[in-house]
Chain A
Amino acid sequence: MALRRLLQGSVLPRVAGRALAPAVAPFSTESGETIRATLFPGDGIGPEIAESVKQVFNVAGVPIEWEEHYVGTEVDPRTESFLTWESLESVRRNKVGLKGPMATPIGKGHRSLNLTLRKELGLYANVRPCNSLPGYKTRYDDVNLVTIRENTEGEYSGLEHQVVRGVVESLKIITRQASLRVAEYAFHYAKANGRERVSAIHKANIMRKTDGLFLKCCREVAEKYPEIQYEEVIIDNCCMTLVKNPVLFDVLVMPNLYGDIISDLCAGLIGGLGLTPSCNIGEGGICLAEAVHGSAPDIAGKNLANPTALMLSAVMMLRHLQFNDKADRIHNAILQTIAEGKYRTADLGGKASTSEFTNAVCDHI
């Protein structure tokens, strides 16, 4: 049984050689058949908020059948981590997934969970739309931007060594293939979602060859999409503009490190990681939506958690599957619930419980 599964694994089409896997999922939305999606509830508050999402999807009548997988308690030697081979196969097969917060176990002899997912599924782009939630006031209103971050290489290649005592080198790698891939996705996303402008963020005045290559790839892709404006912004100016006037940005595409920092900065602008949806795009059209906040073990099981981030990520997953009207309805329901202010969880300054909030969202659908 395991052997057959292993063979199946090697026969699955690997599209590593192609520069782009179309992000449009090959699903038929008219046929009405249910779509299978993998669900990783995760740890801590994960299971509760996953239940919320399932409840909302039921009420909205979304034709999705969930395959739940949990992080194991032992290291699976086939994946060198606590995620089993079956879980990963499930995502590869279904092509869509939703992931809750996972606490990385401490220790050696295994890879981190996020690293495992990223490498095994070839997740190359991390997409975070950051929109100010109407009704939840932060210091910044009218934030409406999307950050797209290259997720596989750059400064996070993990290649470091000590040259001599007291001198350490760390390698930053930029390749044409990865840069083209993420740039293609960024422009495709912009076109598919009606966005007008893509800004490439870089530091090519100092790192001339590496960020220079990234920019070259972005320019090449920009030429193929003449209807979308393209600009290049140095990261210093980007940070300054983001904190002074974030309304000036639309879609941002960035290499790994800048992407990490800028996407968290943008999450801070709209109210933190508890409200930010996120989605990872992988080779072969895989879309793994995830909640980027922590597992909050201190409030786990107490019905206090805020399911907004996971719900909004699930909406992103629906849009990827092209269930646009259902996605819009759920999205509006969430926004309305938060805007009304009657049912808000503790982290937003309210007193509602997870189930009260979820019921309110269902009522609004």
Chain B
Amino acid sequence: MARRSAPLLRRLVSASSPPAPQPLPGLARRTVTYMPRPGDGAPRAVTLIPGDGIGPLVTGAVRQVMEAMHAPVYFETYDVHGDMPTVPPAVIDSIRRNKVCIKGGLATPVGGGVSSLNMQLRKELDLYASLVHCSNLPGLPTRHQGVDIVVIRENTEGEYSGLEHEVVPGVVESLKVITKFCSERIAKYAFEYAYLNNRKKVTAVHKANIMKLADGLFLESCREVASKYPGIQYNEMIVDNCSMQLVSKPEQFDVMVTPNLYGNLVANTAAGIVGGTGIMPGGNVGQDYAVFEQGASAGNVGNENIVEQKKANPVALLLSSAMMLRHLQFPSFADWLETAVKRVVAEGTYRTKDLGGSSTTQEVTDAVIASLD
């Protein structure tokens, strides 16, 4: 994509666009002005991995919307599929160069010899924090209201170390590794996130009554970091009690920090109670790189029906791309996109099957583009 001057093209586009739709209450655009530095408008390169299953559909939606907004990003697309033995080095190099990536889901074969490419990517780029923001979208009725939870999950070690072996035939061992280094940095990230986003409470999720040493070490690190943030409430909750509370009283949670496996379960549960995989944004971040994808890992590759009928829900990845725009320091574009997506979801005319409607991906994407004002 050739480099263009964003402001000029925006003027051209806005001159010919239809009359702006009425803003819904609570979705007003940001009124605080910010002062960019000269040259901030130069388009940034972002690696795009379409992925498997519904991945190409939803990343296609992101691409279309970015073009319609004339956002100062351009995509370098790389094809990666779940059945490749490793992530191609060209892709890793591209992400190292661009520092930011947006991707669709990569299918992981069950029980096969190939290790998960998602995990490989995370370990290779040391993306140690996975973040899912689960909150009620206005206008979308769910069983639970008033939910606003951010689940921050350690992404590199724990039960996903991949260290397994057969001791004797019929007996298999798997190692769960917890280190102070990784526990500390994820706890620091969680508290820093809470501090920067004006969050009041951080809950550590664990099973230290059974796994005393492993989860005990995780909790120790969390407590140490908590003592440095006296303004933020900190509490601990056992993971089975936590899942029970999530389905009965999710309003009590704010930010949750968890080791790898519990984070998977908690994030998927929390995403499920507010609407599911189709609408929750999320991403993985490390010291140097950030990879954005759908928040919940359940069904992020979809099934053949959805792929055939092209009815995947692009809302999740669109909201993640808004997070990406904020990460790239284009806050106005991010707000613009988020407002448009939330407006489409609230109106309810164009909803995919998982939200109770019957639209296709393309219809939702067009609705979002039309809703950009």
Interface, chain A (partner B; CB < 8 A): 138-140, 155-156, 158, 160-162, 165-177, 203-213, 215, 232, 234-237, 239-244, 257-258, 260-265, 267-269, 271-273
A240 & B272 in contact (Cβ 8 Å cutoff): yes
Chain A residue numbers with a CB within 8 Å of B240 are 260-261, 263-265
B299 at interface by CB-CB < 8 Å: yes
In the complex formed, the residue of A with least CB distance to B260 is: A206
Chain A residue numbers with a CB within 8 Å of B144 are 139
Given A161-B213, A268-B245, check contact A213 B299 (CB 8 Å): no
A269 & B108 in contact (Cβ 8 Å cutoff): no
A243 & B247 in contact (Cβ 8 Å cutoff): yes
B217 at interface by CB-CB < 8 Å: yes
Number of A-B contacts (CB under 8 A): 183
Given A175-B171, A209-B165, A210-B174, check contact A265 B244 (CB 8 Å): yes
Given A167-B179, A170-B176, A268-B244, check contact A237 B213 (CB 8 Å): no
Please, how many angstroms separate the alpha-carbon atoms of A205 and B118 in the complex?
11
In the complex formed, the residue of A with least CB distance to B143 is: A139
Query: B22-30, B37-45, B196-204, B262-270: which one contacts chain A?
Result: B262-270
Output the least CB separation between B51 and chain A (Å). 15
Chain B residue numbers with a CB within 8 Å of A241 are 272, 298
**Of the residues B108, B177, B299, contact of A237 by C-beta under 8 Å:** B299
B365 at interface by CB-CB < 8 Å: no
CB-contacts of B108-123 with A (<8 A): 108-113, 116, 119
Chain A residue numbers with a CB within 8 Å of B241 are 264
A208 & B164 in contact (Cβ 8 Å cutoff): yes
**Of the residues A156, A169, A212, contact of B111 by C-beta under 8 Å:** A212
**Of the residues A172, A177, A205, contact of B110 by C-beta under 8 Å:** A205
In the complex formed, the residue of B with least CB distance to A158 is: B210
Please, how many angstroms separate the alpha-carbon atoms of A138 and B273 in the complex?
14
Output the least CB separation between A96 and chain B (Å). 27
**Of the residues B116, B248, B262, contact of A272 by C-beta under 8 Å:** B248
Please, how many angstroms separate the alpha-carbon atoms of A203 and B173 in the complex?
15
**Of the residues A205, A235, A244, contact of B272 by C-beta under 8 Å:** A244
Interface centre among B111, B175, B214, B272 (most CB of A within 10 A): B111
B100 at interface by CB-CB < 8 Å: no
Interface centre among B175, B178, B264, B268 (most CB of A within 10 A): B268
B111 & A170 in contact (Cβ 8 Å cutoff): no
A265 & B272 in contact (Cβ 8 Å cutoff): no
A204 & B248 in contact (Cβ 8 Å cutoff): no
Please, how many angstroms separate the alpha-carbon atoms of A262 and B212 in the complex?
21
Chain A residue numbers with a CB within 8 Å of B297 are 236
Can you give 7 contacting A-B residue pairs, CB < 8 Å? A167-B178, A172-B159, A239-B298, A240-B298, A243-B269, A261-B239, A268-B248
**Of the residues A160, A205, A272, contact of B214 by C-beta under 8 Å:** A160
B111 & A235 in contact (Cβ 8 Å cutoff): no
Beyond the given pairs A206-B160, A212-B172, 13 more chain A to chain B contacts, judged by CB atoms under 8 angstroms and listed by A's residue number, are A139-B247, A155-B176, A160-B211, A166-B217, A168-B177, A168-B217, A170-B177, A234-B298, A236-B299, A239-B268, A243-B246, A261-B262, A268-B247
CB-contacts of B134-189 with A (<8 A): 143-144, 159-160, 162, 164-166, 169-181
Output the least CB separation between A173 and chain B (Å). 6
Please, how many angstroms separate the alpha-carbon atoms of A235 and B116 in the complex?
16
B268 & A236 in contact (Cβ 8 Å cutoff): yes
Chain A residue numbers with a CB within 8 Å of B273 are 243
A236 & B264 in contact (Cβ 8 Å cutoff): yes
Output the least CB separation between B114 and chain A (Å). 9
A208 & B111 in contact (Cβ 8 Å cutoff): yes
**Of the residues B119, B239, B299, contact of A240 by C-beta under 8 Å:** B299
Output the least CB separation between B174 and chain A (Å). 4
Chain A residue numbers with a CB within 8 Å of B319 are none
A174 & B162 in contact (Cβ 8 Å cutoff): no
**Of the residues B176, B277, B298, contact of A172 by C-beta under 8 Å:** B176
Please, how many angstroms separate the alpha-carbon atoms of A208 and B108 in the complex?
11
Given A173-B171, A206-B119, check contact A239 B111 (CB 8 Å): no
A265 & B247 in contact (Cβ 8 Å cutoff): yes
Please, how many angstroms separate the alpha-carbon atoms of A172 and B261 in the complex?
13
